[in-house]
Structure formats: C-alpha cells, structure tokens
Amino acid sequence: MRTNEHMEIIMEALQDYKKWFEDEPDKLHKIDMAINSFNQDREFFPITSVCRDDIIHAFENDARAKKAVKNMDDDDMKQLASKMGDDYCEQLFWDSLRIIFESKFIKSKEVKNDEE
C-alpha cells in the first residue's frame, strides 16, 4: 500500500469518526482541527471533479441512466467520485503525472536553461 493510500484511509476514518460526535461540538471541533493539521502537512491541488451532468453527458441517449441519476443522492455521488478516483490512481495517475511533469517542467526547463 502506498503512502497516499494510507493517508486517504486515515482521512476517511477521521471523517467517519466525526459522525459519532454530531451532538458534541467540542469533539467535532477537535477532529476538524486534526484534519486541518493533517492537511497542512500536505498541500493538495484538485485534479478534477464529477457531477450529475457529467453522467448524463456520458450516457447521452440512455433513458435508464438519466433515471438512475435522478435517483442518486449526494452519498451516491461521493461513492462514484471515490471509485473514479481509485480507478484513476490505479490506472493512469502515476503514468500521467510522470509524462506531464516531464514534458512541462523538465524538458521545457532544459530548453530554457540551454538558451541562457
């Protein structure tokens, strides 16, 4: 298991832990502080998101999909987004990161450094 996966498990556990203390604002505040502290150590930058319109667009002429989307609640969307994130990380993330980073920040900097 990679470090990022461990971090995600910890974050999910903290979010789940908050549900147990919905009626205890002091404990919720402490958990939020822990989450914020945890996140300050690692600065995240969003890559993408998903919305219901994306699903409808992906299943353009599928009435079943449109009906299913109408029945989805926010928890369903969070689950879909989580599964998509997992799939992306397992299949494309690391290769895409290497390719894009190299082409944008290594090769282009080499050209600029050679010109100086």
Mean pLDDT of 14-40: 77
pLDDT attached to residue 69: 97
Structure confidence by residue, pLDDT tens digits, 104-115: 999 766 656 655
Distances (CA, A) of 41 to 3, 61, 97, 114: 14, 45, 21, 35
Distances (CA, A) of 45 to 9, 25, 66: 18, 29, 31
- The burial of 7, by beta-carbon neighbours within 10 Å (0-12 exposed, 13-18 middle, 19 or more buried), is given as middle
Structure confidence by residue, pLDDT tens digits, 58-106: 999 999 999 999 999 999 999 999 899 888 888 998 899 999 999 999 9
pTM of the model: 0.56
- Cα angle at 66 between 63 and 69, to 5 degrees? 150
pLDDT attached to residue 15: 79
Biggest distance spanned by C-alpha atoms of the chain: 62
